[in-house]
DNA sequence: CTGAAAGCGCTTACAG
DNA sequence: CTGAAAGCGCTTACAG
């Protein structure tokens, strides 16, 4: 029965007939408490509905029970403003909140400027105010070399998402290059001989990795790099549409497109429609992202599903372990999934083929 | 130049040659500080890169600079698990984080069980741990009568989203009934004489209000309530599809459908496609929700756009004002927007019409 | 295995 | 207009 005024550790101590420190040991699962005393304390906690005040715990020198997850401000806000949504953010919360809850932790999601010149100060301010037990850096912040150092100096463990493993921090990632190579190889296996990669922003390190996978698969197939071309999108519908239209209307157009995000893949579908190209009969389209809407598109989009929630969950659990004395470095590779829906299929029969 | 070890109010006080309390007055924008002293302190703060520790502020008896936003656990997690996403959550963050940032606040998003029996205890635990300066309750928690009382007992201001204004708390809402009436009237104006409302869950108070608007518009048009029918969906694609198919295959099928969320509207589009009904030529479809994907559907969906981000932003700003001594009650009505895209149009010509 | 003491970094009354 | 004191609710060494 929680009383009106908040119940403190002192109330529990009195109710259980022990000192504050003993109660503290019990709630922190410390050693050196006689089982019967522990039970008495736990009974008092339950009876009083006691929940420790996190601010006080922090002030006393303990943990803050807070994980700070940091996202890129510009892109996030731009997506919000445009009504485009941020499924990535939703997925982060999914993994982060679910995992944090399990350990009695709370997730705080914040936005930090992309600009490498202002990011350190902003992060610095956030951790000074919040004193989180760990920080999660997502792209492109995970590619900023200064941020993890700043965190390390202050003794705050840090996890980077979508970053190739280093040795000093906790790196959680999926194999972007392999994913790009797999979808490329799959399209080649379907008979496509001219493929295009619609790139997002080079600011995101993933672009580089995916592009490498695209090239690798092309080379490995024997088709050679000449079979592939790269269009520079910027993750946005309109600009991508323009680039794609240029690609599809040229002399020897690609028969398969790989877009770095769903929005650009949708742009491809609209352009295809305008040009009278049937998907997937005349043009195959695949994406990296797999936001909720893709299942409802007509036809439903083939896409690489990134394990976003799983990566954030893994980051949280590592960070929590680190702040409990575990290692503050390591690397975790999580599997992606290639979800083949209806926008990819066999290449159209060539007008004229030389080889038998 | 922030030093390695964290800089405290004491460091600032020494650097400025004043006492801690004076620094405290400056950072809290308190009165009674000579302009020149204030400037000196501000200079020291800037020079040292001082940012107050929120835990300490809270412990000292000040504000926590935390707003807790609470969402329904079951539905949120179900959406996450199913890969459906939660645009609502993303929108909340949009409004909440942007507004909180402006005031030096931080938003914490948490999940609380829908079950009215366990919700109070869970909320109670969260506020005992976090001690937020304000709490935002979203549907269906905003319809729980116990929660705001519990909060009030602990002196925490509370904002309810999507709730008809009471007089005791901060209620932020849009006129759901009016929105339903407007879209209904619009469809009637387009010549539709048989309309159906695909309802979500009655657990969400909005359903009731929207249904009332639907009925009201029907009555006001002279068509009468007999012209409208209600199908019970549960916000889910599959179940809605079944209900909708039943509706559309009966003797005198509706020519216009209003779904309570986008997913059910998409279900309607799929059923229409299967039944060979052209949208909007033979069937008009409208939705309440307007998630990002609807602009990319084929054809793009007509929908009521809820001011979710704006409601959460308004809630935050009211809550922050309340915790600074402002009123902890009031009501804010925010405008919705009917976005007519391509799924609604004139009613199909009737097989036989009696009136001229 | 348990408790008395000190202190974390602030803020709120309370003096002057 | 400014400062000395007390205290918020915990935890960490440190004794016993």
Inter-chain CB proximity B293 and A296 less than 8 Å: yes
Whether A286 and A317 map to the same domain: the answer is: no
Q: Is residue A355 part of a domain?
A: no
Q: Can you give the CATH number for the domain in which A136 is found?
A: 3.40.50.2300
Q: What is the pLDDT of residue B3?
A: 39
Q: Is residue A356 part of a domain?
A: no
Contact criterion met (CB below 8 Å) for B208 and B216:
no
The mean of the pLDDT values for chain A is 91
Beta-strand relationship, B228-232 and B256-259: unpaired
Angle between helices B87-102 and B308-323 (to 10 degrees): 40
Least confident of A186-190, A275-279, A349-353: A349-353
Least confident of A31-35, B69-73, B303-307: A31-35
Segment A142-170 shows an average pLDDT of 91
Inter-chain CB proximity B266 and A130 less than 8 Å: no
Q: Which residues 6+ apart lie within 8 Å of A40 measured at CB?
A: A16, A17, A18
Residues from chain A that touch B97, judged by Cβ atoms under 8 A, are: 109-111
Segment A122-147 shows an average pLDDT of 95
Residue A5 per-residue DSSP state: S
Whether B317 and B300 map to the same domain: the answer is: no
**Has residue B354 got a pLDDT over 70?**
no
Whether B212 and B281 map to the same domain: the answer is: yes
Q: Given pLDDT bands bounded at 50, 70 and 90, which one contains residue A354? A: very low
Render pLDDT for A186-209 as a digit per residue (tens, 0 to 9).
Answer: 999 999 999 999 999 887 778 899
B292 touches strand D (CB under 7 A): no
Render pLDDT for A2-33 as a digit per residue (tens, 0 to 9).
Answer: 335 689 999 999 999 999 999 999 999 888 88
Q: Is residue A339 part of a domain?
A: no
Considering Cα of A6, then A7, then A10, then A14, what sign does the dihedral take?
positive
Please tell me the distance from the alpha carbon of residue A75 to that of residue A98, in angstroms, as a whole number. Answer: 25
Q: Which residues 6+ apart lie within 8 Å of B222 measured at CB?
A: none
What's the number of CA atoms in the CB half-sphere (13 Å) around residue A315?
37
Phi-psi region of A247 (alpha: psi -120 to 50; beta: other; left: phi over 0): alpha
Q: Which residues 6+ apart lie within 8 Å of B302 measured at CB?
A: B284, B285, B286, B287, B338, B339, B340, B341, B342, B343, B344
Inter-chain CB proximity B85 and A90 less than 8 Å: yes
Q: What is the pLDDT of residue B331?
A: 93
Alpha helices in chain B (DSSP H): 9-16, 20-27, 35-48, 54-59, 73-81, 87-102, 119-130, 146-153, 176-189, 205-221, 237-248, 262-275, 308-323
Residue B230 C-alpha from the chain's centroid = 25
Q: What is the pLDDT of residue B204?
A: 78
Render pLDDT for A159-188 as a digit per residue (tens, 0 to 9).
Answer: 999 887 778 899 999 999 999 999 999 999
Q: Can you give the CATH number for the domain in which A17 is found?
A: 1.10.260.40
Q: What is the pLDDT of residue A5?
A: 67
Cβ neighbours around B232 below 10 Å, total: 14
Its domain, for residue B193, covers 176-305
Rounded (10°) CA dihedral B304, B310, B315, B320? 180
Q: Which residues 6+ apart lie within 8 Å of B295 measured at CB?
A: A83, B301, B341
Whether A186 and A116 map to the same domain: the answer is: no
Which of A6, A83, A313 to probe the B interface (max B CBs under 10 A)?
A83
Q: What is the pLDDT of residue B2?
A: 36
Give residue numbers, 61 to 90 of B, with CB < 7 Å from strand C. Answer: 61-62
Residue A301 per-residue DSSP state: P
- Which residues are bridge partners to B109 per DSSP? B69
Contact criterion met (CB below 8 Å) for A275 and A268:
no
**Has residue A353 got a pLDDT over 70?**
no
Please tell me the distance from the alpha carbon of residue A187 to that of residue B27, in angstroms, as a whole number. Answer: 60
Whether B195 and B291 map to the same domain: the answer is: yes
Q: What is the pLDDT of residue B167?
A: 83
Whether B152 and B98 map to the same domain: the answer is: yes
Q: Nearest Cα to B161, choosing from B292, B312, B14?
A: B312
- Which residues are bridge partners to B231 per DSSP? B198
Which of B129, B261, B303 to probe the A interface (max A CBs under 10 A)?
B129
Whether B138 and B282 map to the same domain: the answer is: no
Whether A36 and A124 map to the same domain: the answer is: no
Whether A224 and A161 map to the same domain: the answer is: no
Render pLDDT for A81-120 as a digit per residue (tens, 0 to 9).
Answer: 988 888 999 999 999 999 999 999 999 999 999 898 999 9
Nearest beta carbon to residue B58 from set A55, A266, A296: A55
Whether B241 and B185 map to the same domain: the answer is: yes
| Buried-exposed string A6-26: b where 16+ CB fall within 10 A, e elsewhere | bbbbebbbebbebeeebbbbb
Render pLDDT for A231-250 as a digit per residue (tens, 0 to 9).
Answer: 988 888 899 999 999 999 99
Please tell me the distance from the alpha carbon of residue A97 to that of residue B89, in angstroms, as a whole number. Answer: 12
Please tell me the distance from the alpha carbon of residue A263 to that of residue A31, in angstroms, as a whole number. Answer: 54
Q: Nearest Cα to B139, choosing from B230, B182, B201, B77?
A: B201
Higher pLDDT, A355 or A311: A311
Q: Given pLDDT bands bounded at 50, 70 and 90, which one contains residue B201? A: confident
Render pLDDT for A35-90 as a digit per residue (tens, 0 to 9).
Answer: 899 999 999 999 999 999 999 999 998 899 999 999 999 989 998 998 888 899 99
Q: Nearest Cα to B257, choosing from B343, B142, B130, B158?
A: B343
Whether B188 and B298 map to the same domain: the answer is: yes
Q: Is residue B48 part of a domain?
A: yes
Question: How far is the alpha carbon of A17 from chain B, nearest alpha carbon, in Å?
Answer: 23
Cβ neighbours around B23 below 10 Å, total: 27
Nearest beta carbon to residue B89 from set A77, A90, A291: A90
Render pLDDT for B213-248 as a digit per residue (tens, 0 to 9).
Answer: 999 999 999 998 889 999 998 888 899 999 999 999
Q: Is residue A57 part of a domain?
A: no
Q: Is residue A4 part of a domain?
A: no
Give residue numbers, 3 to 22 of A, with CB < 7 Å from strand C. Answer: 18-22
Please tell me the distance from the alpha carbon of residue B285 to that of residue A255, in angstroms, as a whole number. Answer: 34
**Has residue B296 got a pLDDT over 80?**
no
Please tell me the distance from the alpha carbon of residue B301 to that of residue B285, in angstroms, as a whole number. Answer: 7
Start-to-end CA distance of chain A, whole Å, equals: 82
Whether B267 and B163 map to the same domain: the answer is: no
Rounded (10°) CA dihedral A36, A58, A143, A86? 90
**Number of domains chain A is built from:** 3
**Has residue A345 got a pLDDT over 50?**
yes
Q: Show the tokens assigned to A339.
A: 């979800």
Q: Is residue A278 part of a domain?
A: yes
Q: Is residue A58 part of a domain?
A: no
The residue to which tokens 């709730």 are assigned: B163
Q: Which residues 6+ apart lie within 8 Å of B3 measured at CB?
A: B48
- Which residues are bridge partners to B228 per DSSP? B195
Find which nucleotide's C1' atom is closest to A24's CA.
Answer: D11
Inter-chain CB proximity A110 and B97 less than 8 Å: yes
Contact criterion met (CB below 8 Å) for A120 and B45:
no
Q: Show the tokens assigned to A195.
A: 């493929």
Q: What is the pLDDT of residue B5?
A: 66
Segment A324-352 shows an average pLDDT of 90
């Amino acid at each position: 029965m929680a009383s009106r005024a908040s119940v403190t550790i002192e109330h529990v101590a009195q109710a259980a007939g022990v000192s504050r420190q003993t109660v503290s040991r019990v709630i922190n699962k410390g050693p050196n408490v006689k089982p019967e005393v522990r039970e008495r304390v736990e009974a008092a906690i339950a009876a009083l509905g006691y929940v420790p005040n996190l601010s006080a715990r922090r002030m006393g020198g303990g943990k803050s029970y807070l994980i700070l997850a940091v996202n890129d401000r510009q892109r996030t806000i731009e997506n919000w403003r445009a009504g485009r949504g941020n499924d990535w953010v939703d997925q982060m919360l999914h993994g982060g909140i679910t995992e944090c809850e399990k350990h009695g932790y709370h997730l705080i999601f914040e936005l930090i400027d992309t600009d490498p010149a202002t990011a350190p100060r902003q992060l610095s301010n956030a951790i000074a105010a919040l004193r989180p037990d760990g920080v999660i850096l997502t792209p492109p912040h995970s590619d900023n070399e200064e941020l993890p150092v700043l965190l390390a100096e202050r003794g705050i463990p840090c996890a980077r998402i979508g970053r190739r493993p280093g040795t000093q921090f906790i790196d959680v990632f999926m194999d972007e290059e392999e994913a790009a190579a797999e979808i490329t190889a799959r399209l080649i296996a379907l008979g496509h001989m001219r493929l295009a990669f619609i790139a997002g922003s080079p600011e995101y390190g993933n672009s580089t990795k995916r592009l490498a996978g695209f090239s690798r698969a092309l080379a490995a197939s024997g088709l050679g790099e000449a079979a592939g071309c790269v269009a520079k999108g910027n993750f946005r519908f309109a600009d991508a549409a323009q680039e794609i239209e240029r690609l599809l209307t040229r002399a020897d157009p690609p028969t398969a497109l790989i877009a770095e995000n769903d929005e650009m893949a949708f742009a491809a579908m609209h352009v295809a429609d305008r040009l009278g190209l049937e998907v997937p009969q005349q043009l195959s389209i695949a994406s990296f992202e797999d936001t909720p809407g893709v299942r409802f598109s007509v036809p439903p989009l083939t896409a690489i599903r990134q394990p976003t929630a799983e990566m954030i969950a893994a980051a949280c659990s590592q960070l929590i372990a680190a702040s409990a004395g575990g290692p503050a470095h390591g690397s975790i590779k999580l599997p992606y999934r290639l979800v083949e829906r209806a926008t990819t299929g066999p290449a159209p029969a060539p007008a004229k083929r030389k080889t038998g």
